[in-house]
Amino acid sequence: MNNLIRVVDLCKSYYDGFTELPVLKGVDLKVKKAEVIAVVGASGVGKSTLLHLLGGLDRPTEGTIFYDGEDLFALKDQELDRFRNEEIGFVFQFHHLLPEFTALENVAMAGLIARQTSGVAHNRAKELLEYVGLGERLEHRPSELSGGERQRVAIARALVNQPKVVLADEPTGNLDQKTSDAVHDLLWTLNDQFDQTFIIVTHNQTLAQRADRLVQLVDGQVYAQR
């Protein structure tokens, strides 16, 4: 199977005045379509930085990332913005839903930003919310939803543009065990039903052990894979 993503010698440093603070120090990684990969490691080893680079939210100091053979960082900023909006889905520990909008509106907005028509975006949002078990909660605002329901809305939002990959940063880190397990089950159902590719940064060992592959980062480098 061809690689969906290929990460080549990826380095990222930040600077404090004249002092270089290297975070990623030459990461190489390949991801196949429909894989679920868990990225694990101690705090500060570069897990979230790697996810941000994979999502085109930042540019590397050195190295690059290829999606279906296309060099992500050869794109100009406007092209990169479009790629990120249309091809990448994001799920974070905190759902980042807009509080003044309903579940349906929050999900549809991602489609509208990607220039879907209002009808297409809202129909797709409704289908996804029904699929994740929120068909009766379409008109509820985030404050009227439980933590698990809000995260399901966030997952639906990540899927609305049918992205190449969904990047999830501690997607269940703010949930209790029962709710976390339900969200885990949903992610694997989406992977099974839609061949959706997931790269998940997590400290949750139960989630990590369910992944097709576990990638461990140590001191800014890939230490082990299984």
Q: What is the pLDDT of residues 48-58, one digit of tens each?
A: 999 999 999 99
The verdict on residue 5 lying in a domain is no
**Does residue 142 carry a pLDDT above 90?**
yes
Mean of all residue pLDDT scores within the chain: 90
The CA–CA distances, whole Å, from 179 to 106, 116, 150, 152 equal 21, 32, 11, 10
The verdict on residue 216 lying in a domain is yes
The verdict on residue 186 lying in a domain is yes
**Does residue 171 carry a pLDDT above 60?**
yes
Q: Read off the pLDDT of each residue in 128-143 and give the average, rounded to a whole number.
A: 93
Residue 198 has what pLDDT? 94
The vertex-111 CA angle with 65 and 158, nearest 5°, equals 55
Could you list the residue range(s) of the whole structural domain that residue 186 is in?
A: 35-57+77-225
Name the helix (H) or strand (E) containing 109.
helix 103-113
Cα–Cα distance, 35 to 47 (Å, whole number): 18
Nearest to 179 by CA among 144, 152, 210, 208: 152
Expressed in percent and rounded to 5, the helix, strand and coil fractions of the chain are: 40, 30, 30
% of the chain with per-residue pLDDT over 70: 98
The verdict on residue 91 lying in a domain is yes
**Does residue 226 carry a pLDDT above 80?**
no
On whether the CB atoms of residues 37 and 196 are closer than 8 A, the answer is no
Q: Read off the pLDDT of each residue in 84-106 and give the average, rounded to a whole number.
A: 88
Residue 151 has what pLDDT? 87
The verdict on residue 138 lying in a domain is yes
pTM of the model: 0.90
Residue 62 has what pLDDT? 95
Residue 223 has what pLDDT? 81
CATH number at residue 42: 3.40.50.300
Overall domain count for the chain: 1
The verdict on residue 8 lying in a domain is no
